[in-house]
């Protein structure tokens, strides 16, 4: 006989058993302990809606025992109670509940302050549910995308009818969280489901069993969670047919093991053949009473069926009696099971997540308690677009003065009253203060009770609504949440493998993978300053801009003087946004044929393309832009011997006559056609070689081989940071903030004077008329500075170090930093902790730029 | 399980007036033309025909729009093919895009990057900017495996 | 939320980059320029906006979105 182990105890499994059925049949009555008071909790809803039966199955916590199929050799553990759910030391909390009123932990452990971290740890251990399998290997759930015309959630009578009807108009996907019909007890319902399933399938509807919809999003779109997959569905129409469960009864003793909601009790009795007890009382105010009583009688129990208001239930470990106010008066019953059908609570969480008219409900969820025929009709109508407005049930149980409203979070009626008296007077704030509806069931049982309470207290219409429904309906695993989401989308240059082979530490530089260093940053810096080096700058944004309005576009968009940019020349390009702030920088080069070549920072390429295309569109200009960022590789050959190195690989003229600074020329290096751009970022003679990406490796290898004669070492981002800092060059986003206009950065020289119009011009006029209150300055330090460290004048923080390094070439510790003016004057001497910082002109190295103009 | 294969392709971009591109007659060499934007057409061809195609398109487009730009951008793109009967199913793990029918193409989010999908006889061809080649290949392999596991 | 791109069809907004409320391309003077750049109508209702199809055709579209319902029209 197949069996599972529950907390080590062997339990027999019968055919078709859920974990809960097998355990209950074997006599297990306590499935968990409540959050605060550690009260015993047993099976209640039986339909997967409440959180009483959450167990850990084969190491995975948070499984609902009542809807999880039992399997041979399964290891099941109850998650609350210590040392066990049956004998829980913390049950003492129940006796002390007067000392733990609602919200007490906010008040009691707040002072002294040192107490809270300790209290928090203790509270966590006492109230935690389940243990995360931290040693399990992380598995990402496969995700796939589906597009359909109609998505139907729920495979009951209404859902199947909707699917069958909608299939005539286009593709249909029906998802049900279990197996179709598996939980239906009534023969008439079973027959209807079988008939409608055949009809739906024949009409071409696709049926996905064991897939739960955990959220509906704008689109409409939905996320379906299966056993090992996440399905993202884009639909034109969604029909939600998730049914209803019985209303949660609130009365003293309502959380005792032995109190059941009707449908769950019927399943246990009729489908699993498990006896609920010897003396069962069924209190039914809905039409379901006879069916429920009939199902339970099938297990040879003595069943009493009444209608009325449940006043209280009593018992210690489980229920022993119930008192009901029937039409004939108050009656007390000795019983070992109490089955409730006091009203209907539509499972409308998904429906309430969206206001889109394309998402409609059908069946019990909009017409709770409707007949099979009504459910079918409502499904067909919903599929045709004649959806019914949601209506709440006619019968709703009156809550007594006490009893647990939120069973998941142990919030009683008394707690709600007290919270209201304390001033938390709306359903939303009541939720947040008491944590009602914030447990695993997410208000499936109690969200209406919360709204009712607010209404009964006289709250305004705005303050007494149902609390907002948001995805997910039920807590998914982290692996499921991350299904289809990948942390990084990485861009690689063609030289990636070369860098790896050379032992480089590869960094994430924005979305690019780039070498930080090949081992020794100092060695790399010296190679650049004293001999020759190469750097892979293929990630730079690169654009070909042509067309009869190309010059007009560039002149109108950028603040530099494009009119005087002659062919063969290049110019430093500052890109400003409409507020006059520096967005990006790069180079603009003019070719002889009226076309232009533009570079941007690596991180700014997409934005630059969008920027250019925006202005082409808005100004209606005839311009063509080709984003060549991927198409072209770029290698910067830098150092006093850069020209000597290139001379061994090319016959082309590299003198300043042929290739001015700043300027560009088309040359061939090692047989590879290149656009060589004379640049100055690192402050040495440099040739940035733009070439076809497919020939990057060939070019790199040739340069490295020929460079051996000068002991060439490639340099990476770390070295670059220091080299450009020695020249006082700004590193966008490291030294800059999003609201820097050029004057703050000392880049006013890059703005052309006397230009009529360019993007940001008016903003600059406005800001330049104002006194400058913040500047980026060069700094020299008398000790070792720290990047990000505040700069102070007499203990007042007036700035921050944005970049710094100990520099051989600059003769000491240098950096860049922000300063605020004090009474209109910028201080010259500041402190960064123990280090004295003096404002210093930049560049720190080769201030006249002799070396890069060589 | 669908196979994931790298493919070499030649790609020519024609940037011109929309009216000119509307009138552009499809070139030979088995090239597929993709009207990726009102003012841009991409022609995809087997690599050995790239140069011929560039010259042909250059002539044809210039005749329709003298201000047009025709450039060989093959280096800028990487192509990965999903080969097999279940290529579409594997693609559903990569993208919410509807795979194109016939000679058409789809462009949008594939594995979170900007891509174009073409249908071929043997399956689907996905084009992405070259710096995402490795990314696409690894996601496509993962997708093929997931599709296979589901059956 | 779906955005309609004239070239590529209706696509999830995640394929796009948002360009803000539609505004004029220039202003005659500094004062009106400040209003143009910084003072937005921010209507609770239909709003004309600029969207860039970053993952698709990489072109801009001007459309109308209802800021309260997030429905995109023309």
Task: Write a three-state SS string for A309-369.
Answer: EEEEEEECCCEEEEEEEECCEEEEEECCEEEEECCEEECCCCHHHCCCCCEEECHHHCCCC
Mean pLDDT for the stretch of residues A375-401: 84
Domain ranges for chain B: 7-75, 76-150
pLDDT in tens, A672-696: 999 999 999 999 999 999 999 999 9
Residue C27 CA, chain-centre distance (Å), reads 19
What pLDDT score was predicted for residue B141?
95
pLDDT value at A483 more than 90: no
**Cα radius of gyration rounded to whole Å, chain B:** 16
Hey, are the CB atoms on A610 and C27 less than 8 Å from each other?
Answer: no
Q: Which residue did the predictor score with more confidence, A796 or A485?
A: A796
Hey, are the CB atoms on B75 and A631 less than 8 Å from each other?
Answer: yes
% of chain B at pLDDT higher than 70: 99
Mean pLDDT for the stretch of residues A328-350: 95
What pLDDT score was predicted for residue A487?
67
What pLDDT score was predicted for residue A648?
98
What pLDDT score was predicted for residue C71?
87
DSSP A410: T
Half-sphere exposure of A281 (CA within 13 A, CB side): 25
Contact A405, A413 (CB under 8 A): yes
Tokens of A93: 């909390």
DSSP readout, B101-139?
Answer: PTT-EEEEEETTEEEEEEE-SSEEEEEEEGGGHHHHHHH
Query: What total of structural domains would you count in chain C?
Result: 1
pLDDT value at A348 more than 70: yes
3-state secondary structure A20-78: HHHHHHCCCCCCEECCCCCCEECCCCCCCCCCCCEEEECCEEEEECCCCECCCCCEEEE
Q: State the best of A145, A484, A513 to mutate against chain B, taking most chain B CBs within 10 Å.
A: A145
Report B:91-110 residues touching A (Cβ under 8 A).
92-93, 95-96, 98
| Residue A160, CA distances (Å) to A173, A184, A735, C14 in order | 10, 14, 61, 33
Can you tell me the ipTM of this complex? 0.98
pLDDT value at A125 more than 90: no
pLDDT in tens, A725-737: 999 999 999 999 9
What pLDDT score was predicted for residue A393?
67
Q: Is residue C18 part of a domain?
A: yes
pLDDT value at A504 more than 90: yes
At A24 the three-state DSSP class reads helix
Residue A488: which pLDDT band, with cuts at 50, 70 and 90?
confident
Residue A413: which pLDDT band, with cuts at 50, 70 and 90?
very high
Give the structural domain span for C44.
2-66
Q: How far apart are CA A745 and CA A759, in angstroms?
A: 18
Q: Which of A87, A84, A104, A113 is nearest to A36 (CA)?
A: A104
What pLDDT score was predicted for residue A219?
86
Residues of chain C with Cβ-Cβ distance to A766 below 8 Å are 30, 33-34
What CATH architecture does domain B7-75 belong to?
A: 2-Layer Sandwich (3.30)
What DSSP element (H or E) covers A417?
Answer: helix A413-421
Tokens of A269: 């009795």
Residues of chain A with Cβ-Cβ distance to C25 below 8 Å are 615, 618-619
Domains and CATH numbers, chain A: 3-127 (3.10.20.440), 143-245+346-384 (3.50.50.60), 248-342 (3.50.50.60), 404-478 (no CATH), 496-538+632-723 (3.30.1360.120), 541-627 (3.30.70.1400), 771-854 (2.40.30.110)
Which chains form contacts with chain B, at 3 or more CB pairs under 8 Å?
A, C
Mean pLDDT taken over chain C: 92
Hey, are the CB atoms on C56 and B114 less than 8 Å from each other?
Answer: yes
Hey, are the CB atoms on C60 and A757 less than 8 Å from each other?
Answer: no
Residues of chain A with Cβ-Cβ distance to C17 below 8 Å are 606, 610
Q: How far apart are CA A162 and CA A164, in angstroms?
A: 6
Tokens of C12: 């999830």
Q: State the best of B34, B36, B37 to mutate against chain C, taking most chain C CBs within 10 Å.
A: B37
Phi, psi of A448, rounded to the nearest 5 degrees: -70, -35
User: Which among A539, A624, A693 has CB closest to B76?
Assistant: A693
Q: Is residue C46 part of a domain?
A: yes
Phi, psi of A40, rounded to the nearest 5 degrees: -70, 135
Mean pLDDT for the stretch of residues B74-103: 95
Residues of chain C with Cβ-Cβ distance to B36 below 8 Å are 7, 57
User: Which among A142, A489, A544 has CB closest to B113?
Assistant: A489
Taking each continuous run of H as one helix and of E as one strand, the counts in chain A are: 21, 43
Max CA separation in chain C (angstroms): 40
Q: What is the CATH number of the domain that holds C53?
A: 3.30.2270.10
Q: Which of A518, A477, A482, A523 is nearest to A500 (CA)?
A: A518
% of chain A at pLDDT higher than 70: 99
Hey, are the CB atoms on B109 and C8 less than 8 Å from each other?
Answer: no
pLDDT in tens, C28-44: 888 899 999 999 988 89
User: Which among A219, A757, A766 has CB closest to C30?
Assistant: A766
Residue A632: which pLDDT band, with cuts at 50, 70 and 90?
very high
Residues 6+ apart with CB under 8 A from A695: A633, A672
Hey, are the CB atoms on B71 and A544 less than 8 Å from each other?
Answer: yes
Residue B29: which pLDDT band, with cuts at 50, 70 and 90?
very high
Beta-bridge mates of residue A672: A669
What pLDDT score was predicted for residue A75?
97
pLDDT in tens, A38-72: 899 999 999 999 999 999 999 988 999 999 999 99
- When mean pLDDT is compared across A205-214, A244-253, A371-380, A453-462, the lowest value belongs to A453-462
Please state the length of chain B: 151
Q: Is residue C38 part of a domain?
A: yes
What pLDDT score was predicted for residue A93?
81
Mean pLDDT for the stretch of residues A120-141: 80
Q: How far apart are CA C73 and CA A256, in angstroms?
A: 54
Mean pLDDT for the stretch of residues A220-241: 94
Would an 8 Å CB–CB cutoff place A617 in contact with chain C?
Answer: yes
Q: Which residue did the predictor score with more confidence, A303 or A94?
A: A303
Q: How far apart are CA A815 and CA A730, in angstroms?
A: 11
pLDDT value at A122 more than 70: yes
Hey, are the CB atoms on A762 and C27 less than 8 Å from each other?
Answer: yes
Residues of chain B with Cβ-Cβ distance to A491 below 8 Å are 131-132, 135
User: Which among B74, B95, B133 has CB closest to A145?
Assistant: B95
Contact A154, A211 (CB under 8 A): no
User: How many angstroms away from the CA of B121 is the closest CA of chain A?
Assistant: 23
Residue A88: which pLDDT band, with cuts at 50, 70 and 90?
confident
Q: Is residue C49 part of a domain?
A: yes
Q: How far apart are CA A479 and CA A327, in angstroms?
A: 53
Q: Could you check whether the bond before residue A83 is cis, i.e. omega within 30 degrees of 0?
A: yes
Mean pLDDT for the stretch of residues A660-680: 96
Q: Which residue did the predictor score with more confidence, A667 or A118?
A: A667
Instruction: Starting at the earlier edge strand, list the strands of the sheet with B3-7.
Output: B3-7, B77-83, B123-129, B113-119, B105-110
pLDDT in tens, A776-826: 999 999 999 999 999 999 989 999 999 999 999 999 999 999 999 999 999
Contact B113, B120 (CB under 8 A): no
Residue A394: which pLDDT band, with cuts at 50, 70 and 90?
low
Q: Is residue C71 part of a domain?
A: no
Hey, are the CB atoms on B37 and C54 less than 8 Å from each other?
Answer: no
What pLDDT score was predicted for residue A137?
80
User: How many angstroms away from the CA of C48 is the closest CA of chain B?
Assistant: 22
Q: Is residue C72 part of a domain?
A: no
User: How many angstroms away from the CA of C42 is the closest CA of chain B?
Assistant: 29
Residue A398: which pLDDT band, with cuts at 50, 70 and 90?
confident
pLDDT value at A484 more than 80: no
User: Which among A218, A578, A610 has CB closest to C1?
Assistant: A218
**Cα radius of gyration rounded to whole Å, chain A:** 37
pTM to 2 decimal places: 0.90
């Amino acid at each position: 006989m197949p069996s599972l182990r529950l907390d080590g105890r062997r339990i027999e499994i019968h055919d078709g058993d859920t974990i809960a059925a097998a355990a209950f049949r074997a006599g297990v009555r306590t499935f968990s302990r409540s959050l605060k008071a550690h009260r015993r909790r047993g099976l209640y809803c039986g339909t997967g809606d409440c959180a009483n039966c959450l167990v850990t199955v084969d190491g995975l916590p948070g499984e609902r025992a009542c809807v999880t199929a039992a399997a041979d050799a399964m290891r099941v553990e109850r998650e609350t109670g210590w040392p066990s759910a049956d004998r829980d030391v913390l049950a003492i909390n129940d006796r002390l509940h007067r000392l733990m009123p609602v919200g007490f932990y906010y008040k009691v452990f707040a002072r002294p302050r040192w107490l809270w971290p300790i209290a928090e740890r203790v509270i966590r251990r006492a109230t935690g549910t389940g243990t995360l399998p931290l040693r399990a290997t992380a598995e990402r759930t496969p995700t796939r995308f589906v597009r359909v015309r109609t998505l139907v959630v729920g495979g009951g009578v209404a859902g199947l009818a909707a699917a069958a009807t909608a299939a005539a108009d286009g593709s249909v996907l029906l998802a049900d969280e279990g197996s179709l019909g598996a939980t239906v007890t009534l023969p008439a319902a079973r027959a209807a489901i079988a008939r409608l399933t055949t009809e739906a399938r024949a009409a071409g509807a696709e049926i996905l069993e064991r897939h739960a919809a955990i959220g509906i999003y704008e689109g409409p779109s939905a996320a379906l969670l299966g056993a090992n997959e996440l399905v993202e569905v884009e639909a034109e129409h969604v029909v939600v047919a998730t049914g209803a469960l019985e209303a949660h009864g609130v009365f003293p003793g309502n959380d005792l093991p032995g109190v059941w909601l009707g449908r769950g009790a019927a399943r246990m009795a009729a489908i699993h053949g498990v006896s609920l007890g010897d003396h069962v009382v069924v209190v039914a105010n809905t039409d379901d009473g006879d069916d429920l009583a009939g199902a339970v009688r099938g297990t040879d129990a003595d069943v009493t069926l009444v209608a009325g208001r449940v006043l209280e239930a009593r018992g210690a470990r489980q229920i022993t009696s119930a008192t009901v106010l029937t039409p004939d008066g108050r009656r007390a019953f000795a019983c070992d099971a109490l089955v409730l059908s006091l009203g209907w609570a539509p499972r409308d969480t998904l429906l309430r997540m969206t206001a889109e008219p394309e998402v409609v409900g059908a069946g019990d969820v909009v017409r709770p308690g409707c007949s099979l025929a009504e459910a079918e009709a409502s499904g067909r109508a919903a599929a045709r677009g004649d959806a019914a407005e949601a209506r709440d049930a006619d019968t709703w149980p009156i809550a007594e003065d006490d009893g647990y409203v939120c069973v998941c979070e142990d919030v009683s009626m008394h707690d709600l009253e007290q919270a209201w008296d304390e001033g938390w007077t709306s359903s939303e704030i009541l939720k947040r203060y008491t944590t009602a509806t914030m447990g695993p069931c997410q208000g499936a049982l109690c969200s209406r009770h919360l709204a009712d309470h607010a209404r009964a207290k006289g709250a305004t219409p705005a303050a007494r609504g149902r609390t907002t429904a948001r995805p997910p309906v039920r807590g998914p695993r982290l692996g499921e949440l991350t299904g289809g989401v990948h942390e990084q989308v990485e861009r690689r240059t063609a030289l990636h493998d070369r860098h790896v082979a050379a032992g480089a530490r590869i960094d994430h530089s924005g979305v690019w993978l780039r070498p930080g260093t090949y081992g020794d940053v100092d060695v790399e810096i010296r190679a650049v300053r004293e001999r020759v080096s190469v750097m892979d700058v293929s990630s730079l944004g690169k654009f070909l801009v042509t067309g009869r309005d190309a010059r007009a576009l560039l002149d109108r968009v950028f603040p530099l003087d494009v009119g005087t940019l002659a062919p063969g020349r290049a110019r430093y390009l500052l890109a400003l946004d409409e507020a006059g702030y520096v967005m990006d920088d790069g180079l603009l080069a003019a070719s002889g044929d009226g076309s232009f070549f533009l570079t941007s920072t690596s991180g700014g390429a997409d934005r630059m393309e969008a920027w250019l295309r925006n202005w082409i569109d808005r100004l209606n200009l005839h311009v063509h832009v080709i984003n060549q960022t991927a198409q072209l590789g770029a290698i910067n050959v830098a150092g006093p011997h850069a020209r000597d190195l290139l001379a061994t690989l090319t016959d082309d003229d590299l003198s300043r006559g042929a290739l001015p600074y700043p300027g560009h020329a088309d040359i061939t290096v090692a047989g590879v056609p290149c656009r060589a751009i004379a640049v100055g970022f690192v402050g040495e003679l440099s040739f940035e070689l733009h070439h076809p990406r497919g020939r990057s490796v060939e070019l790199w290898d040739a340069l490295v081989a020929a460079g051996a004669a000068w002991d060439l070492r490639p340099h990476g981002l770390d070295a670059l940071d220091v080299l450009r800092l020695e020249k006082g060059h700004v590193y966008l986003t490291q030294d800059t903030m999003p609201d820097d206009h050029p004057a703050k950065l000392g880049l006013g020289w890059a703005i052309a004077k006397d230009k009529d119009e360019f993007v940001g011009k008016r903003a600059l006029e406005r800001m330049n008329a104002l006194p400058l209150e913040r500047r980026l300055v060069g700094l020299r330090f008398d000790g070792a500075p720290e990047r990000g460290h505040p700069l102070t004048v007499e203990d007042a923080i007036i700035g921050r170090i944005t970049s710094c390094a100990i520099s051989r070439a600059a003769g000491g510790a240098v950096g860049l930093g922000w300063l605020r003016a004090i009474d209109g004057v910028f201080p010259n001497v500041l402190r960064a902790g123990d280090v004295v910082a003096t404002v210093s002109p930049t560049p720190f190295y080769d201030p006249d730029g002799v070396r890069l103009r060589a | 399980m669908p196979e994931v294969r790298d493919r070499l392709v030649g790609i020519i971009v024609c940037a011109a007036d929309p009216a000119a591109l509307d009138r552009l007659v499809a070139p030979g060499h088995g090239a597929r033309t993709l009207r990726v934007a009102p003012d841009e057409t991409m022609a995809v061809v087997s690599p050995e025909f790239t140069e011929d195609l560039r010259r042909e398109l250059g002539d044809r487009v210039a005749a329709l729009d003298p201000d047009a730009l025709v450039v060989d951008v093959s280096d800028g793109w990487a192509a990965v093919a999903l080969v097999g009967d279940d290529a579409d199913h594997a693609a559903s793990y990569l993208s919410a895009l509807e795979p194109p029918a016939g000679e058409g193409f789809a462009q949008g989010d594939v594995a979170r990057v900007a891509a174009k999908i073409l249908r071929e006889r043997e399956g689907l061809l996905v084009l992405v900017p070259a710096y995402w080649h490795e990314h696409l290949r690894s996601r496509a392999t993962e997708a093929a495996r997931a599709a296979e596991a589901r059956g | 939320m779906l955005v309609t791109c004239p070239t590529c069809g209706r696509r999830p907004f995640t394929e796009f980059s948002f360009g803000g409320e539609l505004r004029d391309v220039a202003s005659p003077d500094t004062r009106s320029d400040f209003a143009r750049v910084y003072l937005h109508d921010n209507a609770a209702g239909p709003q004309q906006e600029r969207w860039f199809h970053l993952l698709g055709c990489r072109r801009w579209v001007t459309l109308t979105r209802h800021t309260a319902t997030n429905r995109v029209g023309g």
